[in-house]
Copies of this chain bind each other. A is one copy, B any other.
Amino acid sequence: MTDTIKYTLPESAIPKHWYNLAADLPAPPPPVLHPGTLKPIGPDDLAPLFPLVLIQQEVSTEREIEIPGPVRDVYRQWRVTPLYRARRLEAALQTPARIYYKYEGVSPAGSHKPNTAVAQAFYNKEAGAKRIATETGAGQWGSSLAFAGAVFGLEVQVFMVRVSYNQKPYRRALMETYGARCIASPSSETQYGRSVLAEHPDSNGSLGIAISEAVEVAASCDDTKYALGSVLNHVLLHQTVIGQEAIAQLALADDYPDVVVGCTGGGSNFAGIAFPFIGEQLRGGKKVRVVAVEPAACPSLTRGRYAYDFGDTGHLTPLTKMHTLGSTFMPPGFHAGGLRYHGMAPLVSHIKELGLIEARAYPQTQCFEAGVTFARAEGIVPAPEANHAVKGAIDEALRCREEGVSRAILFNLCGHGHFDMQAYTDYFAGKLVDASYDEKELAMALAGLPSVAG
C-alpha cells in the first residue's frame, strides 16, 4: 500500500477560535512605532485604516480568539482542508521519512489567503465599511479579497504591481470575475502613485509602492478601509486554522511532526501552519523543528537585518521591527511573486530572534525541480511560492534517507499552480534563471533604514 492517504475531518472540526501565539511567548514582540513621533502607536492611529476589532486582535494577548459564526460559515465551503500523507512521494524519494502536507489549494481562490480575507471582509462589513482597498503582487491575495468582498457585499479595489498586472492577466481576470476593480500600480489615482510616475513613468511597480497607494486611498476616504494579506499579527492569527486542523488530522494518523516546513514571503502561510505547533511546544509539548524557507533572491530572514523599518516604499505605514532588506530594496524578478517582499512579519521575525525557528533560502530553479518531482508523485501542481516549502520538505526527507532515520515531516502546500503555468513552461524550456540581487544595492537599502533605537 503505497498510495497517498487523505486525512479528513467533519465540518464540526473546523476550529472555533484562532490561536494567538502572543499569549505563549516568553517575551513580547517590540512595539509598533508611529512614523512621525517614533512613539508606540495606539488604536487611534490605526483607526482610519482598520476596523476596531482587527486593531484589538493586532495587539491581543488572549490565547484564543473566537471565530465569528458567519466567518466559519464561509470557511465551511472548503474547510477542513485535506491533510495528506505523501506515500507516493516517499516512494519516489525512497525515504523512510513520513511526509505530510496540508493542502490549502482547495479554497475557491486556490490558496490559503481566503482564511484571512473572509475574516477581514466580515469585520469591515460589520464596521460599516463600503469598500476595501488593498495591494497585490502575483494576485493570490487580491483574488482572495475579491472573493471575500463578493461574499459579504463589499467593493474591493486592488492595486496590482504593474509588472504582474501586465504579465499575469489571469489573476486579474479572476479578481474582475469576482467583481473587484483592479488597477495597475503605480497609478494616477493616488498622490503617491502620481509622484512615482512623475519620476519613473515606466515604473514596474513593487509591493511597497502598491501598499502606499492602497493605504492612501483608505486614509483619505471615510467609507474605505485598508486590508493587508500578510505581515500583520491579525493576518497571521487568521491563518492558524491551518495548523490547528493539522494537529487534529495528525492525531488521526497517530503521528506528530518532527519538522514543520513552510515558505515565507510576508509570513502568513508559514505562521498558519507553524504557530499552533510552536504554541504546543511553548506550553510543554513536544519540541518541533520549524523551518522557514524563503527565496534566495529576496532573503529577508537569512540576509536581512532585524531592525525597525517601514512596510511600504512611500513610508506611510508605521514602523515595525522585523527582518528587512530595506524598504527601498528591489528584489530581482522571479516567479514566486507572493514572496517578493522586503520585510518579514514582525511576529515571525521575533520568534526567529527567540530561536524558535530556523530559516533557509533556495534559488527558484531548485524549487521548481522539487515542485515537478512533487507533481509527478502526488498529482498536485504547486504554486511557485509553495515550491519553496516542497523543496524544504524534500531536503529534510532526503536527509532522513541518508541518515536511515524515519522522521515525520509536515509542510504547508499553500496553493495550486494553475495560474502559474508560464513559470513551469519557462522551467522546462530552460529559461528560468536564478537572478540574484546586487549586493551593493542591498547594502544601500540597509544603510537607508530609519534610525530608531531598539
Interface residues of chain A, those whose CB is within 8 Å of chain B, are 1, 3-6, 8, 10-11, 70, 73-74, 76-77, 84, 88, 106, 108-110, 147, 150-151, 169-174, 176-179, 372, 375-381, 416, 418-419, 421-422, 424-425, 428
Contacts and interface: CB of A to CB of B under 8 A. Distances in A.
A173 B379 contact: no
A10 B171 CA distance: 33
Contact of A110 (B3, B5, B169, B418): B418
Given A11-B8, A110-B418, A379 B77 contact: yes
Contacts of A108: 378-381
A319 B5 CA distance: 42
Given A6-B77, A76-B6, A376-B178, A424 B381 contact: no
A177 B424 contact: yes
| Oligomer copy total | 2
Given A169-B421, A418-B418, A418-B419, A10 B11 contact: no
A375 B178 contact: yes
A383 to B, nearest CB: 11
A369 to B, nearest CB: 12
Nearest to A144: B379
B424 A173 contact: yes
Interface centre among A3, A5, A416 (most CB of B within 10 A): A3
B428 A176 contact: yes
Given A73-B3, A76-B6, A376 B150 contact: yes
Given A11-B8, A70-B3, A375 B421 contact: no
Contacts of A6: 11, 76-77
A169 B1 CA distance: 36
A311 to B, nearest CB: 29
22 contacts: A1-B73, A3-B74, A3-B76, A4-B74, A6-B11, A6-B77, A77-B379, A88-B151, A108-B378, A150-B375, A150-B377, A169-B422, A170-B421, A170-B422, A171-B421, A172-B425, A173-B425, A173-B428, A174-B418, A176-B425, A177-B381, A418-B418
